[in-house]
Amino acid sequence: MTVTQLSTFVLVARLGSVGAAARALDVSESAVSQALAALRTHYGDPLIRRTGGGGMRLTPAGARLLPVASRMVALSADAEAAVRAARGAPDELRVVATSTLAEFVLPSLVEAFASRSGRRTETSFGVASGNEIRVLVENRLADVALGPYLGAARRGELVSEPLFRTQLVVVTGARSPRPPGPPARWSWLVDSSGTDPDADSGRLLRRLGVAEGHVWVFPNQAATWAAAAEGAGVAPALAHLVSPRILRDELRILETPVTPSDATWHATVVQPEQRSPATDAFLYFLHTPAATRIMRAPGAGVPPSRFRPPVYVTLWGA
């Protein structure tokens, strides 16, 4: 039995599928299945069974193992941090964010923190959905999450602090007519956040009652805006991020029954006694004027695929 196997089991159990755990770990589904198989052999129990509806449920033994495994994974993180400190190694900081923040803001924030903090810090970052980042931070597989409010977590383990307030709007081509019919019948152009029930775009589509057949998913937010500018449909957007395209007369804001609406970015971490010095330093930096300026005007952004290193792949070397 290894910490890797326990971490994998925790992610599968919390996220509800092998595929979701593989995405969070940035590894193949077969690697997750192999880790689960080794753990099952060790304990002589299936631990997790598939249900008829395509979901998964814990066996009685798996249900008892889960809280213990979560504690062991957290203790392993503490042990690794203690050894790194004793060796004089740089602090480790693992940041995860939802797709919009990762596309437009996260690289600049991490770069600015590195240049201003004066700390020796090894920083890595990645992209995840709201449900995934909750599980990653709860189980000490990420240090800081940027995205929706996640403070109301199980056992009160997480703290979500507001960072930046903006507005969610809907945009269409500057010369495109208003789509006919109610918003639920429009063609909606979204990035992965449109399929995330915890993200602003996902909540918007749910509030408007948009069915899956009216949603088109693009690799990133910039691609959705480009398609909207060409008249392919409408796209959710955060007002301050899309404003340069509106000023260039590429897009215009389209009012809906639920937009414009308020949106807030949050930083989510564990309780103070569980945080590393690097986590506290980064959290402090996020509340500085320099970080606020980056969040307000981050630039054009780049696709997440350009800067998605394997944040958690180090688990597989355990």
Q: What is the pLDDT of residues 112-149, one digit of tens each?
A: 888 887 777 888 888 888 778 888 888 888 899 999 88
pLDDT of residue 195: 85
Whether residue 171 is found in the same domain as residue 252: yes
Residue 314 lies in a domain: no
- Please state, in angstroms and rounded to a whole number, the distance separating the CA atoms of residues 307 and 96: 12
Residue 61 lies in a domain: yes
Whether residue 7 is found in the same domain as residue 76: yes
- Write down the pTM of the prediction: 0.80
Residue 273 lies in a domain: yes
Residue 308 lies in a domain: no
Would the pLDDT of 318 be above 50? no
Give me the CATH number covering residue 227.
3.40.190.10
Give how many domains the chain has, as a whole number. Answer: 3
Whether residue 149 is found in the same domain as residue 286: yes
The b/e string for 127-141 (b: 16+ C-beta within 10 A; e otherwise) is: bbbbbbbbbbbbbbb
pLDDT of residue 231: 94
pLDDT of residue 152: 54
- pLDDT digit string, tens, across residues 16-59: 888 888 887 778 899 999 999 999 999 999 999 888 766 788 99
Q: Which domain holds residue 253?
A: 166-262
Residue 53 lies in a domain: yes
More confident of the two residues 216 and 297:
216
Residue 312 lies in a domain: no
- Please state, in angstroms and rounded to a whole number, the distance separating the CA atoms of residues 219 and 192: 7
Smallest CA-to-CA distance from 186 within 204, 168, 167 is with 204
Whether residue 42 is found in the same domain as residue 191: no
